[in-house]
Structure 1
Amino acid sequence: MNIVVFTGAGISAEAGISTFRGSDGLWDKYRIEDVATPHAWKKNPKLVLDFYNQRRKQVIETTPTEAHFLLAELQKLYPSTSVITQNIDDLHERAGSKVIHLHGEIRKARSTANDSLIIAIEGWRLDLGDLCPLGSQLRPHVVWFGEEVPMMNKAIKLASEADVFLVIGTSLLVYPAASLLHYVPAHADKWIIDPNAENMHVPGFKKISQSASAGLKTWRSLMKL
C-alpha cells in the first residue's frame, strides 16, 4: 500500500511556527515581493537574509509536534509511506521522517554560482559575506516565488502511484505544489485534515476538520492503521 502524505504550514503551526496566510502570518509584516522573489534578492539581499534569519531562529527554537511524530511512526510501520511537504522547516526530519521538500530547507544555504552546491547552516544566521567554496555569496536554500520547483516531478510521480493520499494542514492555494492533487489516481483513498476542511473545495476527498495532531489520530483510527 503506497501512502503519500502531503503537508503544509498547518502541521508546523501547532509547533508555534508562524504561517504566511494566517491572521498572524509573516506576510502581515513583509511583502512577498520584498523578501521571497529573485528580484527581492537582487534589490536588497540583506533584507532577504534578515527575514530568513528570523524564520530560521524560530525553527531552531521549536520542537516537532505530535503530528510529526505520528507520521514518523507511520513511515516505520509502512515503509512505502512518502511524506511530501511544502514546509521549509526540519520538524519532520527531527521527528524521524524521511521527507521530500518542495520549497527547500531553511537550515541549508546554497551557492549563487552553482545551485547544486548546498551547505548546512550552523546556527541561525546567514549574512552578507558568507561565501560558498567557490567564493560566491550564499543564499537561503528555498524556492522563491517565480522559481522552478526542482522536486516537483518526483512528487508528481509519487502522487500518481498513491493508493492512499493524505493532505494535512495546507490551504492548497500555492501552485504548482497544490496541483499534486490532480495526479492522484481515481481509485486512491483521498483524505484531507485541516481545521477548515469542510469549507475547502476538494472533490473526492474525505474531510476531517481537526488540527493536524488530532486529525491524524482520527484518520489512523478510521483507516485501522
Structure 2
Amino acid sequence: MSAESGVPTFRGEDGLWEGHHIEMVASPEGFARDPELVHRFYNLRRAALNTVEPNAGHLALAQLEREWHGRFLLVTQNVDDLHERAGSEKLIHMHGELRKARCECCGAVFSWSKDLASGTRCRACGEVGGMRPHIVWFGEFPFELEAIMNALKSADIFLCIGTSGVVYPAAGFARQAAERASCHLIEMNIERTEISRHFHEHIVGPVSVELPKLVQRLLSA
C-alpha cells in the first residue's frame, strides 16, 4: 500500500530486512541480543517517514470511509502513518506503529517521533532500558485480533490490497471472510497471490491508479 509512496517494504527477495536477517531486527530474541542494532534500524525507518507522503490509494480509502453509508474498518499490516495523514480514522494497525513506543516495564504506550535507545527513560514509570518500538515482531501476537475477527464475521465486502498472502494471521482473513456467503471479496495487487483463490474479483495494477477507480465504483453502486 505504501510502497508507491516510497516506503520500503523492508523484506527483500533475499529474505533480508534492509540487509539484516529478520531474527536480528524483528524478534524479541534479536532485541534482547542487540537492542542498539534494533533501535538503529527502527530509528532510521521512523525518520524516513518525514520524507514520504500519502499516495492516491491512501486518499481513496479515506474518502471511502467518509462517504460509505455502512460500517467501515481499515485493517493494515503497515507500520507507517500514511493512512492517518490521508484522513483515515477507523483504523487498526495490527502490526504496530513506527511512531509509537512502548515500555516493557510498565506497558505504557506513547506517541514517539524521536530516536529510541537503550538509555531512553520511560515517561510513565521512569525505568531505563525497557523502551522498545511499538511493533509486532515475529513470535508476538498482532494487536486487536478480536476486533478484526468480529468485523470479518459481519463483512459484506472484503477488500484486500497489496498483501503477499503469506504472513499469518492476516493471510487467513480472506478465507474467513469467504465463509460468509453474502460477502463479496475483492483482491487488488500487482500480481496474483497465494490467497487469490478465495476472491470473487481480482484487480491487477498499481494501487494509486486502481484503488481510486474502485472506490468511485463502490460509492456509486
Q: Do Structure 1 and Structure 2 share a fold, with TM-score over 0.5? A: yes
Partner SS for 2:143? coil
Could you tell me the percent identity over the aligned residues?
37
Taking the aligned partners of 1:101 and 1:199, their CA distance within structure 2 comes to 22
How many residues of Structure 1 are paired with residues of Structure 2 in the alignment? 213
Deviations 1:9-59 (A, max 9, x none): xx1001001113445986251110100000001100000001101111112
Taking the aligned partners of 1:22 and 1:73, their CA distance within structure 2 comes to 31
State the shift of 1:198 in Å. Answer: 7.2
Higher mean C-alpha displacement, 215-224 vs 150-159: 215-224
Taking the aligned partners of 2:168 and 2:74, their CA distance within structure 1 comes to 18
1:34 lines up with 2:24 in the alignment:
yes
Taking a change above 3 Å as real, the CA distance of residues 139 and 34 of structure 1, as seen in their structure-2 partners, is: same
Listed as ranges, the gaps of 5+ residues in structure 2 are none
Instruction: Please name the residue that 1:78 is paired with.
Output: 68
Q: How does 1:112-151 map to 2 (within 5 A)?
A: 112-115=104-107, 117-123=108-114, 125-132=115-122, 133-134=124-125, 135-136=127-128, 137-151=130-144
TM-score by length of 1: 0.87
Contact 1:108 1:119 in 2 (8 A): yes
2:156 maps to which of 156, 163, 168? 163
Taking the aligned partners of 1:173 and 1:199, their CA distance within structure 2 comes to 7
Instruction: Please name the residue that 2:86 is paired with.
Output: 95
Contact 1:64 1:94 in 2 (8 A): yes
2:101 maps to which of 109, 123, 139? 109
Contact 1:18 1:25 in 2 (8 A): no
2:182 maps to which of 175, 187, 203? 187
Taking the aligned partners of 2:119 and 2:149, their CA distance within structure 1 comes to 37
Partner SS for 2:36? helix
Taking a change above 3 Å as real, the CA distance of residues 97 and 24 of structure 1, as seen in their structure-2 partners, is: farther
State the shift of 1:152 in Å. Answer: 1.3
Partner SS for 1:122? coil
Contact 2:56 2:212 in 1 (8 A): no
Taking the aligned partners of 1:193 and 1:178, their CA distance within structure 2 comes to 14
Taking the aligned partners of 2:186 and 2:87, their CA distance within structure 1 comes to 23
Contact 1:69 1:96 in 2 (8 A): yes
Partner SS for 2:59? helix
Contact 2:188 2:203 in 1 (8 A): yes
Partner SS for 1:14? helix
Partner SS for 2:17? helix
TM-score by length of 2: 0.89
Taking the aligned partners of 2:23 and 2:59, their CA distance within structure 1 comes to 35
Taking a change above 3 Å as real, the CA distance of residues 22 and 222 of structure 1, as seen in their structure-2 partners, is: farther
Contact 2:165 2:193 in 1 (8 A): no
1:214 maps to which of 203, 209, 215? 209
